[in-house]
Amino acid sequence: MNQAGKLSEALVGGGCFWCVEAAYETLPGVIEAENGYAGGDREAPSYEEVCSGRTGHAEVVRVVYDTGKLSYRQILDFFFTIHDPTTEDRQGADIGEQYRSVIFYANDEERKEAEAARAAAQSRFDAPIVTAILPRPRFWPAESYHQDYFRTHPDAAYCRIVIAPKLASIKIVK
């Protein structure tokens, strides 16, 4: 995979979307990581509605990547290194179904890749992986103030205490 390829998308949720977005932005071949909401029952939900726990949405990141530099499987393998996929509806102090671990697939091939990536990742964890693998629903972009949050708010407490240490520990999957 040395040549430029076409652009493709993955849709994943692994806790706070600020963390997931910041992590994917470190991965060579990722063109864009956009925060948003998916998997709920309300049209165009707001952050406040999603945080209420009444919409069923997860905080997700739409990852746009160059298929000449990254495969869908590499996107997924990286996903399992940047969050704890064994905790249901939470990541650290972030608790609620909006923080669930989820992969939304667009077709049967992506579903099979997601299942294989989850199975391969299981050997690195003592507890069972609880990551859901579901058909891709509509993606709703998050409000503009949530986009590129770590990059634009590096001195915010959450960024210093949660995101920066996570980024420092990331191992790029080759």
Give me the pLDDT at residue 170, please.
Answer: 85
- Identify whether 57 is part of a domain: yes
CA distances from 25 to 56, 121, 128, 172 (A): 26, 21, 28, 11
- Identify whether 174 is part of a domain: no
Structural domain boundaries enclosing 51 = 7-169
Give me the pLDDT at residue 33, please.
Answer: 98
- Identify whether 156 is part of a domain: yes
Read off the pLDDT band of 3 (50, 70, 90): low
Q: How many domains does the chain have?
A: 1
Catalytic residues: 16
**Entry pTM:** 0.94
Taking the C-alpha atoms of residue 43 and residue 72, their distance in angstroms, rounded to an integer, is 28
115-144 pLDDT, tens digit per residue, is 999 999 999 999 999 999 999 999 999 999
73-113 pLDDT, tens digit per residue, is 999 999 999 999 999 999 999 999 999 999 999 999 999 99
- Identify whether 164 is part of a domain: yes
Q: How many other C-beta atoms are found inside a 10 Å radius of the C-beta of residue 75? A: 25
121 is written with which tokens?
């990742």
We report the CATH number of the domain holding residue 46 as: 3.30.1060.10
Taking the C-alpha atoms of residue 113 and residue 119, their distance in angstroms, rounded to an integer, is 10
Q: Cα angle vertex 108, ends 142, 79, to 5°?
A: 45
- Identify whether 63 is part of a domain: yes
State the virtual CA torsion across 34, 35, 40, 43 in degrees, nearest 10. Answer: -80
